Structure 1
Amino acid sequence: MAASTSRSGGGHRTQAVWPAYMARYEPLERLGAGMNGEVFKAWDTKENRIVAVKRLSGTGIDAGDDLIFSGLQEVWRECRCLRTCADIPSVVKLLDKVVPKVNSDDSFLIMEYAGRLNLRGYMQRRAHRHRRFSEAEVCRIMKELLEGVNSVHGTGIMHLDIRPENVILDDGTEDRTDRRPKNKKGANQDGELKEDNIVYKIGGFGISRRKEQGPKQSEVTIATAYSAPELLLHSCEYDERADTWGLGCIMADLLLGTGMPTFGPDDSEEKTMSRVFHIVDPKCKGIKDWAGYQGIAAEWKSKLPAGKNRSKLARVAAGLKTKLLGHPLRRRFPFWRLSAAGFEVLSGLLESNPTKRLTAAEALAKPWFHCR
C-alpha cells in the first residue's frame, strides 16, 4: 500500500524543482503527497492567483517517494473525471493541465487552491488538543460529504479513494490573490480554522473512473484502510457503494477522535481485512451472503479472518458481546457516543455486504440528518 502524507505540511521535502515547461507556476510550498503524485501550493504568474499544482509521477519524481507511475492514459482519465464533476461546488476544480510530449516525463494538473488543511490534519489537530467532535459536528460534516459524493455519483463517476487526505477544508480566511497571503481579518492568528465557515471539498481523483455498464468494472489494485471489503478482496463487481464505505470509515474516525484510521494503519490487505471484519462482521457472514462473493479468487477468500487464530473461548465471548450489544460496531460506538439514529447511518455505511450498504442518497434520507 502506498503511504499518504498529510496536506497539513508533512513530508520530507518542501522545495520543488520543476521542468522548464512549468515556468508559469512558481512553487511556494509542498502541501502533501498521495498515491500517484505530490501537491504544491503555487503562484500562477499569468493570472496572479494562488493555485494547487498536482505533480503526477513520471520519471521526474524521485523513486524514493514511492509513488505510482501515471502515464498519459491515467492523466487523461483523471482530467475527464474532474471535468465531468466541474459543476459540483464540493469538488476541487481543475483549472488547467500541463502534459509533456514525452510519456515518461511528469504531468501537472493545475487545480483551484481549496485550503491549507485536509481532513486528516484537522482530525489530528483536534485530537492533539483533546477536542472530540460532537455528534452534531459529525452529522454536519457527514451531511456535506454525502451530498458531495452523491453529486459525483450522479455524473456516473466513482471516486474509489474516499479518505480524509482527499477532503480539503476551506474556511474562507486565506487570500488567493496575494503571492504571500496573510489571513483575512477575523482569522485566528495561531492558524486555527474558523470552524463555523468550513466548506469541505473533495479531491484526489487519481484512481476515479466512470462506471461501466453491467456489474464488472476494472480491477482496483490500490488498497488503503478506507477500501471497501469487495475492493480488498480484489473483486471487479463493485459500484458507487465502494465510496460510501469510505465515508463510513471517515464517520468512524470522526467519532473515535484519535486522528488515526479506524481500520488502519495502511499495511497489507490481509491485516486491513482482519481489522475490518473483526469490527463490523466477525463471522464474515455479510460478505459471504453477497452474490459477488462467489466470483472472488480463492487466493483472496483464504485471507478472510473468519475464526482464524481465535480460541473457542474467545469466539464464545465475542458471541455473548454481540448478543448483549447487538451489532458488533456497538462495542466501538456505544449509545453514550452515538445515538440510535446516528448508528443507523454508520452501520448502514459500514455494511460488509455491498448490496445492503447504503448509497449516498439513501444515507441522506435517514432521520439523523433531519432531526437537528
Structure 2
Amino acid sequence: MMTGAIWLATLLSLGSAGMKWEPQDSHTTVRLRGVSAVDARVGWASGDKGTFVRTTDGGVTWKAGTVPGAEGLDFRDVDAFSDTTAYLLSIGEGDKSRIYKTVDGGEHWTLQFTSSTPGAFFDGMAFWDEQQGLAFSDPVEGRFLVIATSDGGATWAPLPAEAFPPALPGEAGFAASGTSIAVRAPRQAWFGLGGAAARVLRTTDGGKSWSVATTPLATGDGGGVFSLLFWSDTDGIAVGGNHQRHDDATGNLALTRDGGKTWSVPPGARPAGYRSCVARLPGAPGPTLVTVGPSGSELSVDGAKHWTSLGTPGFHAVSASPTGKRVWAVGDAGRIATLQRAPAPSPPTPSPSRPRR
C-alpha cells in the first residue's frame, strides 16, 4: 500500500498538469459549503437545508443526512475528528446561528449553542483539539463577539469584550467556507474580516487578549478575508477578494511571515479570481497549497509564488487530511470531488512493420 508521504511525493512530482478533480456522488443536491478531511478514508461535508454528508471509505460512498430540527439552517462549517465525532455550525441572524455535535456518526445530534445576542451572525469555528475551540460572529454594536469551549462544546461562553480592539463601522466576517477563522496549538488563533478594511485579529494566549493587523486584500462591499491558514507559528496565508466579482483577482491573496502581525502580497502570479478557501498538503515542500472559489481552483507547490489552474467547475471549500493523502472540495448542487493523479496517456500503438523487399 502506498503511504501518504510516497503518494504525496508522487503526486507532486507530476505537477498540477498530472492532477485533476475526480467527482464523487454526495447523494444530495443541496449547496455544500463546508468540508473536513479527517484522514484518507473519513470525511464530512455540510451545507444548506440542515444537510451533512459523511464517508468512511475515501468517498467511494457518501451518506447524506439532515439534522433533526435544523431543516431550515445553512451549515457553513464542519469540523470533524473521526468517523463518529463532528461539529456543525449554522449561520444566520438570531437563533439561526447554532452549533451541533454528534458522537455517533451523525445518527444523533446535540444542539450545543444557539445565539441569543441580537444582531449576532456567526461565521465560523475552529478547534485546537476535540475539547477546546472558538467560534466568532460579526461585531455587535461595535464590539467583537467570540465564544469559546473547553469541554467539547458542552458549554460555550463569550470571551470578554474588553479583550478585543474596537470594530470598525460596517466591519463583518465571511461565512463562505467556515475557514475565515484558524487556530494553531497551543494557544494561537486568528480570524479575518472585511468591509472598510480587510483585517485579521490575532491571539497568542488562547483568547485572553487580541491584536489586529490590516491586510492588502480587497475592501468595500463584498470584499475582505475569506479564508486563513497557518503552517507554522509565523507563516500563513489569507485568501479572499470580492465575492460579488468571481473572476476578479484584485486583492485575493496575502502572506505573513510573523504570525499575522503584518501581511503582504507575494511577488508572482495569483489565483485567477475571488477565492473562498485555501488548504495545505502537510509534509509537502514549498509548502503546497490548494485554493478554490466559484470560478475555479489552483495549485501552488512553492508557497504561493506560482499558481497553476486545476480547471473548473468551481468549489466553495477545500480540506486536506493531516497526512495530505486526501484532498476534498465541495460546491453547488451537492458537488464533491477529490484531488487525484490524472491517468498517464497511453503510448501510441506502433504501426506494423512492412516486410522488406
Q: Comparing both structures, which one devotes a greater share of its residues to strand?
A: 2
Normalised to the residue count of structure 1, the TM-score between the two structures is 0.29
Q: Comparing both structures, which one devotes a greater share of its residues to helix?
A: 1
Normalised to the residue count of structure 2, the TM-score between the two structures is 0.30
